[in-house]
Amino acid sequence: MTITYPGGPNLEAERAKFSSPNVSVHSITPAENKAVLQASFNDVTKLSTAEAFRTLIVRRQAVPGGERLRVIVRNPKPSPSPNVTAVGSIAVTLPGPVTSANRGAERHGNQVVWRIPIADLAAHRFTKLSVRYAVAGA
Q: What is the pLDDT of residues 38-73, one digit of tens each?
A: 999 999 999 999 999 999 999 999 999 999 999 999
DSSP structural state of residue 95: S
Q: 34 falls in which pLDDT band (50, 70, 90)? A: confident
Instruction: Read off the pTM.
Output: 0.85
- CATH class of this structure's domain 55-138: mainly beta
DSSP code of residue 53: G
Q: Which of 3-17, 72-86, 101-115 has the lowest mean pLDDT?
A: 3-17
Non-local (6+) Cβ contacts of 87 within 8 A are: 115, 116, 117, 118
Q: How far apart are the C-alpha atoms of 79 and 118, rounded to whole Å?
A: 11
